[in-house]
Amino acid sequence: MKDSLNRALARYQRTFLAFTTGQKLVAVLGTGALLLAGFLVFRWASAPSYSPLFSNLSAKDASAVVDKLDAEGTPYELTDGGSTVMVPKDKVYSSRIALSGEGLPSGSEGGYSLLDKQSLSTSQAQEQTNFKRAMEGELSNTVEAIDGVQTAVVHLALPQKQVFADKQEPATASVLVATKPGATLGAEQVQAIVHLVASSVDGLDTDKVTVADSSGKVLSSTDESGAGGAASTRAQEISDYQDQTKNRIQAMLDRVLGAGNSTVTVTANLDFDKSVTETKKYSYDKNNVPLSQTENTEKYSGQGAGSGVTGVVGPDGQMDSSTTTGTGDGSAYEKTSKTSDNAVDTTVERRENAPGAVRNLHVSAVMDAAKARNISGATIQGLIASAVGIDANRGDTIQVSTLPFDRTAEKAAAAELAAAKKADASANQMDLIRNSGLVVLVLLIVLLAWLKGRKRAKARAEATSYVVEQLRAEQLERAAAAAVEPSPAMLALESTEQSETEEMLDELAALVERQPEDVASLLRGWLVERP
């Protein structure tokens, strides 16, 4: 086995020494590349898969967790700026249980955990300070839960309670937020932060909360009425409504005229005033039965001074002649009153108009004269009016015009695009030619190397076969000359000679591999000199 291995190594060595310089370089580089690829594949296959152990850790907790993992010899990785600790997937639960037993992570940077270690000796001022710090920590964690917010710091100013309300100072708050790379906070998110903080603190109004980013820019409104934030929200709503209306009209015109042959502008005036209207109506149905009914009758008779109509003087000083009667012989009257309490239906209607209604809408559209020759402007105007709901009673206007479009920029862009495509095609063609030339060159080199190797192999085979035939002929001549049965000593001698012959054949093969042309020339010389 050892001899076979040595002979194989020797054969490989002789083969490598027979290579040219270029072939040796290719062989060395190829072998190195294979070894490197195998090493990388083995390393990738043997690398453990990591999973999060803890996330959103403070700097203090992350340091303590890392120190504990180092002490236990557990491999780890830090991500998210050091706030997330990753460990191998098969060690997540065991490491988490072990660290929890050690009280990690402790979460000692704020929150209501600050109130856990208070004692009876804690003063009122210290208690209030700890409560304020706990509130600030909890609010910071709440704000950090919003998408796009990386870190947040909340400061509260909570004045002491006063006996009289008119002397009570208002509570205020300030929020400093740092966004994640590439993220920005919208107006709605800022308003959400303001309302979250204001709703979490007793007696804190939204206009007393200030939100700023890490660059020092105030994100919340700076006035007491909050008009700054509301104005940005209103502007965004107006812009969204105008874009939505414009896109509907533009899509319709593109289907009729083609893309790029029309342009649309929309201006909307939205009503953001909130109004409440209450209407109270009373109705009575005569067919309904009265709730209550009262009837009184008064009669009087007696001697009178004369005949005539008599009655009761009313509140306005007039005589009520309809309820009294009299005769010439005396006086008499009769009074009847009837009161009915009927059910009256009452309807109270309360309407609250939501902000955002359209006060008026103005639309203008321009069509390319070259594309709209056979299209009536009145037709397009009617289509637009029906699509967006133009109402002339509320002051809406619409204007459709046909004008020639300036295509200079489009032609220049088309020319540049064509030139760029041509340049790309030329570059691709040159790359194809260059790559094809390289491939052909490599194939030629391989073909020449193969032909040269084939020539050397043929010369080596001829030289080796000639030498072997010569040795066989000499052995046959020796055997014929002896013409006797070989003795054990002769057999041993022949075995030794056979081993020597094999070694000589190996040496001859190596010589032929190293210098095939020289050996072939030598053999041709022997053949010429031989009688």
Is residue 295 within 8 Å of 336, Cβ to Cβ? yes
Q: Is 98 exposed, middle or buried (0-12, 13-18, 19+ CB in 10 A)?
A: middle
Phi first, then psi, for residue 58 (nearest 5°) are -75, 165
Q: Letter for the amino acid at 234?
A: R
**Which ranges of 159-285 does DSSP label H, i.e. alpha helix?**
187-200, 227-257
Choose among 472, 475, 459, 473: nearest CA to 524: 459
What is d(CA 156, CA 436) in angstroms, rounded to the nearest whole number? 73
Contact 328, 378 (CB under 8 A): no
Report the DSSP pairing between strands 172-179 and 149-157: antiparallel
In angstroms, what CA-CA distances link 312 with 21, 324, 326?
Answer: 147, 7, 12
Distance CA 67, CA 99 (A): 11
**Rama region for 368: left / alpha / beta (φ>0; ψ in -120 to 50; rest):** beta
- Which among 198, 201, 238 has a CA at the least distance from the CA of 221? 198
Neighbour count for residue 113 (Cβ, 10 Å): 14
81's tokens: 């700026």
Report the run of H or E that residue 176 belongs to, with start and end. strand 172-179
- Taking a C-beta distance cutoff of 8 angstroms, is the pair 197, 154 a contact? yes
Using left for φ > 0, alpha for ψ between -120 and 50, and beta otherwise, residue 111 falls in: left
Tokens representing residue 26 in the block: 């290719």
Instruction: Count CA atoms within 13 Å of residue 19 on its CB side.
Output: 13
The token pair that represents 181 in the structure block: 């790379």
Which residue pairs from 162-171 have beta carbons closer than 8 angstroms and sit at least 24 positions apart in sequence?
A: 170/203, 170/204, 170/205, 170/208, 171/201, 171/202, 171/203, 171/204, 171/208
Q: How far apart are CA 371 and CA 170, in angstroms?
A: 66
Please name the helix (run of DSSP H) or strand (run of DSSP E) that holds residue 460, with its range, or none: helix 408-482
In whole angstroms, give the CA distance from residue 254 to residue 260.
7
pLDDT score of 384: 92
Q: Give the HSE-up count for residue 414: Cα atoms under 13 Å, Cβ half-sphere.
A: 5
Question: Phi first, then psi: what are they for 186, rounded to 5°?
Answer: -85, 175
Residue 176 is predicted with a pLDDT of 93
Task: Round to whole Å and give the CA distance between 526 and 531.
Answer: 10
CA gap 313, 301 in Å, rounded: 17
Query: Residue 155 is inside which H or E element, if any?
Result: strand 149-157
pTM exceeds 0.75 for this model: no
d(CA 56, CA 249): 48
Which element (helix H / strand E) includes 53?
strand 50-54
At a CB cut-off of 8 Å and minimum separation 6, what does 216 contact? none
Structure tokens at 401: 């015009």
Q: What are phi and psi of 167, to 5 degrees?
A: -100, 0
Which of these, 178, 181, 171, lies nearest to 217 by C-alpha position? 178
pLDDT tens, residue order, the chain (531 aa): 566 677 767 777 777 777 777 777 777 887 888 888 878 877 776 667 888 888 777 777 888 888 888 888 888 888 877 778 888 888 888 888 888 777 777 655 556 565 666 666 677 777 788 888 888 888 988 898 888 888 889 999 988 887 777 778 889 999 999 988 888 888 888 889 999 999 989 888 988 999 998 888 888 865 444 444 555 677 878 888 999 999 999 999 999 888 889 999 999 998 888 788 888 888 877 788 888 888 888 887 766 544 444 555 545 444 444 444 444 455 677 888 888 887 788 888 888 877 778 889 999 999 998 888 888 889 999 999 999 999 989 899 999 999 998 888 888 888 888 888 888 888 888 888 888 888 888 888 888 878 877 777 777 666 666 665 666 666 667 667 655 455 555 555 556 555 666 666 667 666 666 666 666 666 666 555 554
Opening angle at CA 424, ends 418 and 427, nearest 5:
145
pLDDT of residue 95: 86
> Which position has the token pair 């990785």?
77
Amino acid at 121: S
**Strands, E assignment, 242-356:** 262-271, 275-283, 292-303, 312-313, 319-320, 324-326, 330-341, 345-353
Residue 99 confidence (pLDDT): 83
Q: ∠ CA(347), CA(349), CA(354), 5° rounding?
A: 170
For 169, the token pair is 């100072």
- DSSP-derived letter for residue 218 is B
